[in-house]
Amino acid sequence: MKKRIYTTFLLVFICCCSFAQHATHHKKKKTKAPEYTVEKWFNGKKSATCLTFDDWSAGHGAIVVNTLIERGCPATFFVTQNNNGLGGGYAQMQKAAQNGMEIGNHTQSHPDLTKLNANDLHKEVSDTQASLSKETNAEISTLAYPYGPYNDQVIEEVRKHHIAARGVIDINHFPYEFAQSEQDYFKLNTVGVNEEFTPEKFGATLRKANNEGGMLTLIFHSVYNNKVDDQSYAAITEQRLNQFLDTLNTYKNETWTTTMANAVKYHKEAHCTKLTTINNNAIEWTMSLTDTLSNNKLYNQPLTITIKVPNGQHYLAVSQGGAALAFSFHDRENTISFNAVPDGGIIRITKAREKRRKRR
């Protein structure tokens, strides 16, 4: 009897061990995490440059909007809403927004926000944000503080409906880590432009920003010509504006010229995004790109992703959420780069059946 029990136990033990070995042998391979880089700025540029125009004075709608559209140059217009009767008003603001410009909030009446009570502060900031969005049919997500000052109470109100805000303090350093906390995005500084700020100074400032890798924000005010009399503050001529734009164009391969909102979105997304492999087989490589920002409708700026790939593999296509993405393959580095939106859908990289000849 004891022998029979022992034999039965031994058989059960052997079967269990065999099953465990079999299960271990067929255990699904752990998917290798992709080796990747989120480029500091869009398309791998060294810095970001944001042209911002404060107040919506007469020359902004009459001169600046059309000039920027003709050049394909994005910028941000911080609108003081009481100036909506100038420069073509809301119709010209809408035209700007439809052509890649940003409409930003510069309050209703341009007061010193630090001197307002809570009710008036809400009207100047939050109510104006909602009204500008309705009148221009545009996303209003950044603000410029009138005259520059702000305090904790002001920032608290601004943060309710904006992702960043800019002051007027001149700076001469442009580090990439310009925001150590969420609060710092509401304390952005700038470089002031007036008749004493020459294209040569602008070029030197661009080079410095490129070397330091940060975000360069410039603040313009009045722009005039012989037909449009706009000399309310820090006025420059239309000719000088075009000289600045010519200078900026010479650095187009080094700096990303964009709106302030897009630059801030990119910077925030890049600091909290993650690329994860879903599946990687002989036919395709699927991945998910996610971030920790909760508002996907607002944070929709594509990031430039560079992935290390096996030597010898050739790729046919890249897509996200079913939409084709432009991509570039760098043979020497064995990397592939493309622009994708965090939480914008599954990324698929289609592989060719025949591999490239491996580099020796």
pLDDT for 326-349, tens place per residue?
Answer: 999 998 889 999 999 999 999 999
pLDDT for 165-183, tens place per residue?
Answer: 999 999 999 999 999 999 9
Percent of the residues in the chain that have a pLDDT greater than 90, as a whole number: 86
Choose the weakest-confidence range: 7-16, 125-134, 211-220, 248-257.
Answer: 7-16
pLDDT computed for residue 36 by the predictor: 97
Residue 209 pLDDT > 80, yes or no? Answer: yes
Mean pLDDT calculated for residue range 19-33: 50
In the CATH hierarchy, which fold is given to the domain comprising 36-40+273-351? Immunoglobulin-like (2.60.40)
Q: What is the residue-averaged pLDDT of the chain?
A: 92
pLDDT computed for residue 357 by the predictor: 52
Q: Where in the chain is the domain with CATH 3.20.20.370?
A: 46-252
- What's the CATH code, domain 46-252? 3.20.20.370
pLDDT computed for residue 354 by the predictor: 63
Mean pLDDT calculated for residue range 140-160: 99
Residue 360 pLDDT > 70, yes or no? Answer: no
- pLDDT band of residue 17 (cuts 50, 70, 90) is very low
Residue 358 pLDDT > 90, yes or no? Answer: no
Mean pLDDT calculated for residue range 82-98: 98
pLDDT computed for residue 102 by the predictor: 99
Mean pLDDT calculated for residue range 264-285: 97
Under a CB-based contact definition with an 8 Å cutoff, are residues 245 and 73 in contact?
yes
pLDDT computed for residue 260 by the predictor: 99
Under a CB-based contact definition with an 8 Å cutoff, are residues 40 and 267 in contact?
no
Residue 26 pLDDT > 90, yes or no? Answer: no
Residue 265 pLDDT > 50, yes or no? Answer: yes
Mean pLDDT calculated for residue range 44-52: 99
- pLDDT band of residue 353 (cuts 50, 70, 90) is confident
pLDDT computed for residue 221 by the predictor: 98
pLDDT computed for residue 93 by the predictor: 99
- What residue has token string 């502060």? 121
pLDDT computed for residue 30 by the predictor: 55
Give the integer Cα–Cα distance in Å for 52 and 266.
17
Q: Where in the chain is the domain with CATH 2.60.40?
A: 36-40+273-351
Mean pLDDT calculated for residue range 125-129: 99
pLDDT computed for residue 22 by the predictor: 45
pLDDT computed for residue 11 by the predictor: 42
